[in-house]
């Protein structure tokens, strides 16, 4: 008989020593892995064409809008879209927004957010794949890199090659082109804050404000860094939207999906071989090669995926070459992919569901509120500020006088004249500082100007007993002499 087997027993009371440094180093390698450079291959197909068209259109809008002229009359800027910080107003074609009307901008941002939520719930990260500035400029930077250094394989070989004059030239021209694009980006940005033709001349003559050069420098640096150098790192690590959008999608959202029921089991395929007992995926990795994020869509839905659909174009091209049906990778729903089989279609698409109805209803509600607010928007804004130190002044004849600052904002694109009067304070006298006050006070407010005037209201001594300890309420009446429209502002008169 052989020797009896030896049984090893572990004593639970003895704790084996742990190499803490080794564990920390291992975790550090996992959490802080160095970036693997991505070399996206040029795809060809409908989605690539769509991205190119949208890139040209969106960049064209960004660079061209500050140069669009819009006639608003004399004494007003003729730039269609202008953030006039100097005069604290925002021009958007015929619409003019003042600081006290910033709720209109808030409403537009809410509408944009809700629209983004709705689109995401329907079709995933369409914004990220086609319209996001980071995506658009990154796409442009990659195109420039491809122009100087060649497509994917050529760029890989160039990076591995030793530094020769040819390599130095190609790399240098790539970065110079990126910097020129970034400079144009920063230059176009500042044109939104001042008259574009005027500022353009000032920038080259050296007479532009220092803030303009500073912002051009900041935008140049950030565009070069984020679009040319960081690229996919911005979408993966800096942007919060990939984490947020997970709450917007569900089983019925259209996403770029790999149809595993059709593609598996995958493997290389040779001409003349049968397709029986195997999937359509030939494991060519063309979908990975074209992905600007460097992911494999066959691994399922991933945080890094921006839904640009270039993998669909690449896969369709391969399917055409091997004689198999297209759309092995396609826009599909999670429900459709998981419930489908090679012989049966997946679950039907349901675009109308609770979350989409909720987002659409909120968009309609906010849009209705915005529409009503714009339709009832006043072209005159009046504000009254009573003096607080002192509340009142007793005159030599016994009368009591209060001082007020009256602010009249003329939002109309022409000068306007206003009559000023008071209501609800019997016996009171009204006077405007700087006028002779022999007749009814008349206020001239130029085009698009907020005019401040000092106003005194005096009450005779005989009327003071009618004013209670807390003051007497009365109303300023500001009447437009042309239209006859009256703006009322209530305030308080203080007495002893």
pLDDT at 6: 43
Cα torsion for 458, 464, 469, 474, to the nearest 10°?
Answer: -50
The whole-angstrom separation of Cα 404 and Cα 393 is 12
Phi then psi for 208, rounded to 5 degrees? -70, 155
Give residues with Cβ within 8 angstroms of 123, minimum separation 6. 253, 254, 255, 307, 331
The whole-angstrom separation of Cα 352 and Cα 70 is 41
Q: Can you give the pTM of this predicted structure?
A: 0.79
The whole-angstrom separation of Cα 478 and Cα 380 is 10
Q: What is the mean pLDDT of each run of 10 residues along the chain (496 residues)?
A: 45 44 52 78 94 95 95 85 88 87 90 94 91 94 95 94 95 96 94 94 92 94 94 90 86 90 88 86 94 92 90 94 92 84 63 90 95 87 89 88 91 87 87 78 86 91 74 88 87 85
The whole-angstrom separation of Cα 196 and Cα 201 is 9
pLDDT at 436: 74
pLDDT at 7: 43
The whole-angstrom separation of Cα 245 and Cα 36 is 25
Per-residue CA distances from 473 to 327, 405, 406, 464 (Å): 74, 16, 16, 13
pLDDT at 342: 58
Q: Look-up: residue for tokens 């110079």?
A: 176
pLDDT at 98: 85
pLDDT at 389: 84
274-299 burial, b for 16+ CB within 10 Å, e for fewer? eeeeebbbbebebbbbbbbbbbebbe
Let me know if 439 is exposed, middle or buried by CB neighbors in 10 A (0-12, 13-18, 19+).
exposed
Per-residue CA distances from 436 to 198, 395, 400, 439, 441 (Å): 42, 19, 20, 8, 9
Give residues with Cβ within 8 angstroms of 466, minimum separation 6. 426, 472
Record the tokens describing residue 348, joined without a space: 């039907």
Q: Look-up: residue for tokens 């006070």?
A: 441
The whole-angstrom separation of Cα 204 and Cα 89 is 27
CA Rg, the chain, in Å? Answer: 35
The whole-angstrom separation of Cα 68 and Cα 76 is 15
The whole-angstrom separation of Cα 480 and Cα 444 is 10
Q: Look-up: residue for tokens 């100007």?
A: 449
Contact criterion met (CB below 8 Å) for 114 and 362 = yes
Domains with residue ranges and CATH for the chain: 46-100+126-243 (no CATH), 380-493 (2.60.40.10)
Contact criterion met (CB below 8 Å) for 121 and 249 = yes
Q: Look-up: residue for tokens 């990939």?
A: 242
The whole-angstrom separation of Cα 267 and Cα 281 is 7
């Amino acid at each position: 008989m052989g020797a009896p087997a030896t049984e090893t027993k572990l004593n639970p009371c003895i704790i084996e020593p742990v190499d803490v440094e080794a564990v920390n180093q291992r975790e550090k390698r996992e959490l802080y892995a160095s970036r693997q450079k991505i070399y996206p291959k040029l795809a060809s197909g409908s989605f690539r064409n769509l991205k190119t068209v949208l890139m040209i259109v969106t960049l064209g809008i960004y660079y061209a809008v500050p140069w669009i002229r819009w006639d608003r009359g004399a004494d007003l800027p003729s730039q269609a879209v202008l953030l006039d910080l100097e005069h604290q107003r925002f021009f958007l074609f015929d619409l003019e927004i003042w600081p006290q009307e910033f709720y209109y901008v808030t409403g537009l941002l809410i509408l944009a957010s809700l629209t983004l939520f709705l689109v995401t719930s329907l079709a995933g990260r369409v914004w990220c794949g086609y319209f996001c500035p980071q995506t658009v400029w990154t796409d442009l930077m990659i195109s420039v890199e491809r122009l100087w250094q060649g497509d994917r394989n050529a760029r890989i070989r160039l990076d591995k090659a030793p530094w020769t004059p040819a390599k130095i030239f190609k790399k240098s021209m790539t970065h110079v082109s990126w910097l020129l694009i970034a400079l144009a980006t920063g230059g176009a940005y500042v044109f939104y804050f001042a008259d574009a033709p005027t500022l353009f001349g000032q920038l080259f003559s050296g007479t532009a404000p220092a803030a303009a050069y500073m912002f051009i420098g900041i935008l140049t640096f950030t565009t070069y860094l984020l679009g040319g150098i960081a690229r996919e790192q911005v979408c993966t690590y800096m942007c919060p939207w990939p984490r947020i959008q997970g709450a917007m999608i569900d089983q019925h959202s259209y996403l770029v999906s790999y149809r595993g029921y059709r593609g598996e089991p995958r493997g290389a395929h040779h001409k003349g071989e049968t397709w029986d007992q195997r999937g359509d995926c030939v494991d060519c990795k063309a979908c990975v090669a074209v992905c600007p994020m460097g992911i494999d869509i066959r691994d399922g839905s991933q945080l890094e995926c921006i839904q640009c659909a270039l993998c669909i174009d690449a896969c369709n091209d391969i399917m055409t070459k091997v004689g198999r049906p297209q759309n092995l990778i396609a826009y599909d729903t999670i429900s459709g992919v998981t419930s489908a089989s090679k012989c049966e279609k997946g679950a039907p698409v349901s675009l109308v569901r609770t979350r989409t109805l909720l987002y659409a209803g909120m968009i309609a509600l906010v849009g209705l509120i915005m529409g009503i607010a714009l339709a009832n928007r006043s072209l005159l804004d009046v504000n009254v500020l009573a003096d607080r130190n002192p509340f009142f002044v007793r005159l030599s004849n016994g009368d009591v006088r209060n001082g007020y600052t009256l602010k009249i904002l003329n939002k109309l694109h022409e000068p306007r004249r206003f009559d000023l009067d008071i209501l609800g304070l019997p016996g009171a006298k009204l006077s405007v500082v700087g006028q002779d006050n022999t007749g009814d006070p008349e206020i001239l407010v130029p085009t698009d100007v907020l005019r401040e005037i000092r106003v005194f209201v005096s009450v005779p001594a005989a009327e003071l007993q009618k004013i209670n300890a807390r003051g007497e309420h009365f109303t300023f009446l500001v009447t437009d002499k042309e239209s006859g429209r009256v703006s009322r502002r209530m305030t308080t008169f203080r007495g002893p």
